[in-house]
Amino acid sequence: MSCESVREQISTHVDGMLDAAERKQLVAHLGSCPSCAARLKSTKELRAGLRQMEVPRVPAALAVQLQVLASHERSRRVSGTGFKGWLRHCGDRIRLSFDNLMRPLALPLAGGLLSAMLLFGVLVPTLSFRHEKTSEPPLSFTEPYGLVVNWTENLPRLEPVDAEVSSDDNVVELTIDDAGCVADYNVRQGQLTPEMLSIIKWSSFTPAMFFGRPTWGKKLIVIPQRRRNARG
Amino acid sequence: MAAVIFDLNSEASGDGKDELLVESLRAGSEQAYEELLARFQQPVYTLAVRLLGNQAEAYDVVQEVFLKVFRNIENFRGQSSLKTWIYRITVNEAHNARRWFSRHRRQEVELDTEPEQSRNWIETIPDTGRSPFELTLDHERVGMIETALERINPVFRAAVVLRDITDLSYEEIADVLCVSLGTVKSRILRGREALREQLTGDLKSAHPLRLVPTTAE
């Protein structure tokens, strides 16, 4: 038996994997060959050295991560077993998501709502709103108008500036200021009658409005030729 | 079902215990998951550290291993034992990680190890007149073996680690590595020879520091 083949068997022999006949041959050779015996000894020592190597302990962080991993994988597996398990899993997930969503929000949300209500309650009585007396909407421009009492056919009447008038009427164009008083007049046709003068002197009109504010405007007073007493 | 596992303790045979554990894992029992981690996280971590020679890489590999175990427990057919199945996954994952790291680590520059300060096995042998192997065992014996183990071919290292550190039988190693018994014997022999050469600094070898023997198949 050559030293070369013995050396190949030594490793197997150390592990106890040689059959009886091979072992017998090997032992016989080792007794007569000191170099192979030394080889056996060093192989055993090497093996002992390997077994004595320090066992690297699992780091605590890794152990925790493995537990988390196991937990995730378990829940994945549970979610896959049967409809009931799946339902329960979904329920758990929804409840967890809702909790995770609400917990950080619940306190700020309730606090914010309460403080908003408190501020509103404190501030509302101190607020004053300007109320418009008139119910008319603030049109961009309204003409001045007046009220004529005792209306009959021949009384003076108010017309818009661009109104069509018959040629035999007396027509005066009035300029009405923002206080409703006549600021100026101009006889368009016919003549200035005493009634017109009376109207010009004494009447007061609702002034023209421009975006809700009184402003100057124009109006026509028309009096038919056959006239009676009139008041504006 | 989960409660049964813990009643068994060590009275039941390993296989029966494995079957129950696998069944409970498939059923999603919390205790089964804890049991699996308690039984295997330490051996798997030790194996990964020894195969990779790096605790940080082993950290990631162990997580990958257990992820695969949990996800693929459905595919475990019981043809091999649970232990060898998990170790096979560990060896494969370590192999993948080593390939990945070797591809990416080439571009890295190590800052903290200077050539003068790094522990060189040949410099720690003070007297070459005495048997270097005995001397090596005397001085920092275990540390030297660790360093030597990191330097040998990964294929042989896996066989030696599974035999001498994880303490598997030849049949189990054959099962883990998916090779024949003869190949296991050969790989262990060559692994030990390579280790011995690393430790004694066999300068007759063409590349004593980077011994890369071919794989025995």
For A130-157, write each residue's pLDDT tens digit.
665 655 555 566 666 665 555 455 667 7
User: What pLDDT does B213 receive?
Assistant: 60
Check CB contact under 8 Å for B141 and A74: no
**ipTM attached to this prediction:** 0.71
| C-alpha to C-alpha distance for A162 and B40, rounded to whole angstroms | 104
Find all residues with CB under 8 Å of B2, minimum gap 6, and list them. Answer: B24, B27, B29, B30, B31, B32
| Residue B193 CA to its chain's centroid (Å) | 18
Check CB contact under 8 Å for A62 and B196: no
Check CB contact under 8 Å for B45 and A62: yes
Tokens linked to A147 = 């009220």
Check CB contact under 8 Å for A58 and B33: no
For A190-211, write each residue's pLDDT tens digit.
888 887 788 788 878 888 888 8
**Residues of chain B contacting residue A56, judged by C-beta atoms under 8 Å apart:** 45-46, 49, 55, 58
Do A176 and A220 touch, CB atoms closer than 8 A? Answer: no
Task: Tell me the nearest-neighbour CA distance from A98 into chain B, angstroms.
Answer: 25
CATH of domain B120-217: 1.10.10.10
Residue from B26, B62, B202 to probe the interface with A (highest A Cβ count within 10 Å):
B62
| C-alpha to C-alpha distance for A190 and A201, rounded to whole angstroms | 19
pLDDT exceeds cutoff 70 at A227: no
B47 touches chain A (CB under 8 A): no
Buried/exposed B170-182: b ≥16 CB within 10 Å, e otherwise: bebbbbbbebeee
Do A165 and A222 touch, CB atoms closer than 8 A? Answer: yes
User: What pLDDT does B27 receive?
Assistant: 85
> Which residue do the tokens 């309460």 mark?
A114
**Residues of chain A contacting residue B59, judged by C-beta atoms under 8 Å apart:** 59, 62
Check CB contact under 8 Å for B192 and A11: yes
Instruction: State phi, psi for A132 to the nearest 5 degrees.
Output: -80, 135
Which among B33, B142, B188 is the nearest to A54, CB-wise? B142
B76 touches chain A (CB under 8 A): no
Query: Nearest 10 degrees: CA dihedral of B26, B28, B30, B31?
Result: -30
| C-alpha to C-alpha distance for B194 and B150, rounded to whole angstroms | 11
pTM for the full model?
0.56
A4 touches chain B (CB under 8 A): no
Find all residues with CB under 8 Å of A116, minimum gap 6, and list them. Answer: none
For chain A, the helix, strand and coil percentages under 3-state DSSP, each to the nearest 5: 50, 15, 35
**Residues of chain B contacting residue A68, judged by C-beta atoms under 8 Å apart:** none
Residue from B29, B46, B169 to probe the interface with A (highest A Cβ count within 10 Å):
B46
CATH of domain B11-106: 1.10.1740.10
Check CB contact under 8 Å for A74 and B165: no
Check CB contact under 8 Å for B33 and A52: no
* pLDDT digits (tens), chain B, 217 positions: 444 444 434 434 456 788 889 988 888 888 999 999 999 999 999 999 999 988 889 999 999 999 999 989 888 888 889 999 999 999 999 999 988 877 776 555 555 555 445 555 555 555 545 566 665 555 566 777 888 888 888 899 999 999 999 899 999 999 999 999 999 999 999 999 998 888 887 434 444 455 556 666 5
User: What pLDDT does B132 receive?
Assistant: 63
Check CB contact under 8 Å for B55 and A73: no
Every domain range in chain B assigned CATH 1.10.10.10: 120-217
B145 touches chain A (CB under 8 A): yes
Instruction: State phi, psi for B58 to the nearest 5 degrees.
Output: -60, -35
For A32-60, write each residue's pLDDT tens digit.
888 888 888 888 888 888 888 888 899 99
Every domain range in chain B assigned CATH 1.10.1740.10: 11-106
B101 touches chain A (CB under 8 A): no
User: What pLDDT does B3 receive?
Assistant: 42
Angle at B157 between CA B153 and CA B159, to 5 degrees: 130
User: What pLDDT does A60 receive?
Assistant: 93
Task: Tell me the nearest-neighbour CA distance from A50 into chain B, angstroms.
Answer: 6
The span from the first CA to the last CA of chain B, in angstroms, equals 44
pLDDT exceeds cutoff 70 at A88: yes
Residue from B142, B150, B156, B199 to probe the interface with A (highest A Cβ count within 10 Å):
B142
**Own/partner long-range contacts of B35-42 (Cβ < 8 Å, ≥24 apart):** B35/B5, B35/B6, B36/A70, B36/B69, B37/A63, B37/A66, B37/A67, B37/A70, B37/B66, B40/B66, B40/B69, B40/B83, B40/B86, B41/A58, B41/A62, B41/A63, B41/A66, B41/B66, B42/A55, B42/A57, B42/A58
